[in-house]
Chains A and B, each alone.
Chain A
Amino acid sequence: DIQMTQSPSSLSASVGDRVTITCRASQGISNYLAWYQQKPGKVPKLLIYAASTLQSGVPSRFSGSGSGTDFTLTISSLQPEDVATYYCQKYNSAPLFGPGTKVDIK
């Protein structure tokens, strides 16, 4: 079975910092990779699909890259409203979420 890992599990950064989250699949998944943002007490929100395509309405400071087994989510300039847990998800065959990365403001 494919496993999804994320690193780090949590991070604290300053407003304006560039933040990078890594997601790794134990086997190749092509570009069937999505990123979701879940703010505290809220419903998950789709940010990026197909590894690098920004969902409509998502701010351009969010970007994704990668293919195969290694993927990244980058926030180019962290904003206070970006405090959330971020999950990667492989969505080919049986969907599977990564364990999440909690992002806080320093």
Chain B
Amino acid sequence: EVQLVESGGGLVQPGRSLRLSCAASGFTFDDYAMHWVRQAPGKGLEWVSGISWNSGSIGYADSVKGRFTISRDNAKNSLYLQMNSLRAEDTALYYCAKAAGLGVPDAFDIWGQGTMVTVSS
């Protein structure tokens, strides 16, 4: 079964850091680009960052550029998001999503259940 499991969320003070992880299973992880998407409570979906299969291409939303860093470890079938200088507006459920493998560029076909990040003093 194809599965993505996020972890690392929690309550953090403004200005602090947090590292999210996403463990992948059931597919050949290093064949696919991966993404982070977030959803603030009661709001819509916002793409945060994406990384190609070999980490050669990386992108960020303007809202997180310079503060967040995406990375992956293909040997560990894992995706990461290092979040620094966190702000209240970063409060959201963070989803890990897999590129569908339908071409380049690509839609997102598998999503994890998400990990909640709350930024508050």
A: residues with CB less than 8 A from B are 1, 32, 34, 36, 38, 43-46, 49-50, 55, 85, 87, 89, 91-100
The A-B contact count (CB < 8 A) is: 62
Docked-complex contact B106 and A91, CB < 8 angstroms: yes
B: residues with CB less than 8 A from A are 35, 37, 44-47, 50, 59, 61-62, 95, 100, 102-103, 105-109, 111-114
Q: A93 CB to closest chain B CB, in angstroms?
A: 7
The 8 closest A-B pairs by CB, nearest first: A34-B107, A49-B107, A95-B47, A97-B45, A43-B111, A100-B44, A92-B105, A46-B109
**26 chain-A/chain-B pairs, Cβ below 8 angstroms:** A1-B62, A36-B45, A38-B45, A43-B95, A43-B112, A44-B37, A44-B95, A44-B108, A44-B111, A46-B100, A46-B108, A46-B109, A49-B100, A50-B107, A55-B100, A55-B109, A87-B45, A89-B108, A93-B59, A94-B47, A94-B59, A97-B37, A97-B46, A98-B44, A99-B44, A100-B44
Chain A contact residues: helix, strand, loop or mixed = loop
Q: In the complex the two chains form, what is the Cα distance from A45 to B108 in whole Å?
A: 9
| B44 neighbours in A (Cβ, 8 Å) | 85, 87, 97-100
Other contacts beyond A93-B59, A97-B44: 18, CB < 8 A: A1-B62, A34-B108, A36-B45, A43-B111, A43-B112, A43-B114, A44-B37, A44-B108, A45-B111, A46-B108, A49-B102, A87-B44, A89-B47, A91-B105, A94-B61, A95-B35, A95-B105, A97-B45
